[in-house]
Amino acid sequence: MNTRSMSIWGKIIGGVAGFALGGPLGALIGAVAGHAVDKIREETATSLSVEVEEPEQGTRQVAFTVAVIVLGAKMAKADGAVTRAEVDAFKEVFHIPPHEVKNVGRIFDMAKKDAGGFEPYARQVGLMFRNEPAVLEELLSGLFHIAKADGDVHPAELSYLRRVSDMFGLNAQAFERVRTMFMASTDPDPYDILGVRRDASNDDIKRAYRKLIQENHPDKLSAQGLPQEFMDLANERMAMINASYDKIEKQRGLR
């Protein structure tokens, strides 16, 4: 485990990042760390927009990580059951250090037991990364990865994920791209992956591809707050984007 990822877990479990993060995510971190927290979900969109103006990279990484834990826990309620496969997928996404598994489980359990909805948490992370939609797509991808772990994405889970995407402020193309990556019954439609129409011009397809490659480059995502633990998923997305463009190139004879 590298120094960066250890520092993320240390900040989360120690509660240090909770105060810097603020909002419902920060309150949850504080509660898990044993701090007295009376109000977890009472932040408004207005107050959150003030709190997340210019968060440092470390705080962004913590926010991203905790958001997946919390939103993953809330998703577990969508189909009424948490399977062993989902738990294993959760650990797979995070590369959780063995000695921190129990502590991360405390965050998951607290979020799952919380009677409130997912909206305040999704709204906060959506505001924090509102200028980095590719990071929000990665977060959505992590949730899809967990949802699909037991073989299928349950209709209730898909509905939940669509609502989360809306709370993030992602457009329909972005949601469809992630959904296609994880739920295509056969090979994913390359046009859906690139977010272009089948009758799009060659130039439009090239522009869409270049934009996606630029936005989803691991170095850029890392600078925007994507934790190292999620780089495997980010690299898989890059590979699928490249493969989709290659397929369209062959179909259209662009090479």
Alpha-carbon distance of 38 to 43, in angstroms, equals 12
Tokens of 83: 């399977």
pLDDT in tens, 189-200: 999 999 999 999
* Entry pTM: 0.80
Task: State residue 247's pLDDT score.
Answer: 94
Q: Is the pLDDT of residue 18 over 60?
A: no
Angle at 229 between CA 227 and CA 234, to 5 degrees: 80
Question: Does residue 44 have a pLDDT over 80?
Answer: no
pLDDT for 110-123, tens place per residue? 787 765 689 999 99
Q: Identify the pLDDT of residue 255.
A: 66
Residue-level pLDDT at 81: 66
Please give the pLDDT value at position 62: 80
The two three-digit tokens of residue 64, written as one number: 């991203």
Say how far apart CA 10 and CA 4 lie, in whole Å. Answer: 10
Cβ-based burial of 252 (10 A; exposed 0-12, middle 13-18, buried ≥19):
exposed
For residue range 131-184, what is the model confidence (pLDDT) as tens digits? Answer: 999 999 999 998 998 888 877 888 999 999 999 999 999 999 999 999 999 987
Contacts 24+ apart (CB under 8 A), 203-209: 205/245, 205/248, 209/241, 209/245
What does the radius of gyration of the chain's CA atoms come to, in whole angstroms? 18
Q: Rank 39-53, 77-91, 223-237 by mean pLDDT and report only the highest.
A: 223-237
Q: Among 175, 199, 184, which Cα is nearest to 251's?
A: 199
In sequence order, which residues have a C-beta less than 8 Å from that of residue 62 and are 6 or more positions away? 8, 11, 12, 17, 21, 29
Q: Which residues contact 209 (CB under 8 A, 6 or more apart)?
A: 194, 241, 245
Mean pLDDT, residues 86-112 taken together: 74
Query: Model confidence at 240, in pLDDT bands (50, 70, 90)?
Result: very high
Q: Which two tokens stand for residue 69?
A: 């834990």
Query: Of all residues in the chain, what percent carry a pLDDT higher than 90?
Result: 36
State the DSSP code for 189.
P
What pLDDT score was predicted for residue 172? Answer: 93
The token pair that represents 14 in the structure block:
């120690």
